Amino acid sequence: MNLKKLTMNYFNTFSNKDAEGLRALLSDDVYLRDWALAENGIENVINANQNIFDSVDTISIIPIEICETGNMTVAEMEIHINGRDQILNVVDVIEFNSDGKICAVRAYKG
């Protein structure tokens, strides 16, 4: 299983503000934590992402580096909000289950 490719698919789906597309990539018991929230379960995570999508005109993830180890990837990225109005430097730690679904995303800003 190519976790880097799955990670890029996740980033592209997120950048397209496609909440239903994310649903197909996430496990039912997915966990999401970032600097502003923590959510458990697919419905809560989808709703949290939809709230992000609704709050911006555009959002784009620009990967800088993706490293794969075991069942996870660690990705350094820039997140561009509304073009280049706001740029966040973020590191995501993304864990995958044996089915290739994302079971945890922990995001760190800085």
H or E, element range at 18? none
* pLDDT score of 32 more than 90: yes
Backbone Cα Rg of the chain? 13
Mean pLDDT of 80-93: 95
Encoded amino acid at 2, one letter? N
Q: What is the rounded CA–CA span in Å between residue 103 and residue 50?
A: 18
Q: From CA 9, how far away is CA 6, in angstroms rounded?
A: 5
- SS3 of residue 108 by DSSP: strand
The total number of residues written for the chain in this structure: 110
Task: For residue 1, name the pLDDT band (cuts at 50, 70, 90).
Answer: confident
Average pLDDT for 74-78: 98
- The answer on pLDDT for 50 being more than 90 is yes
Share the mean pLDDT of the chain: 97
- Segment 27-56 mean pLDDT: 97
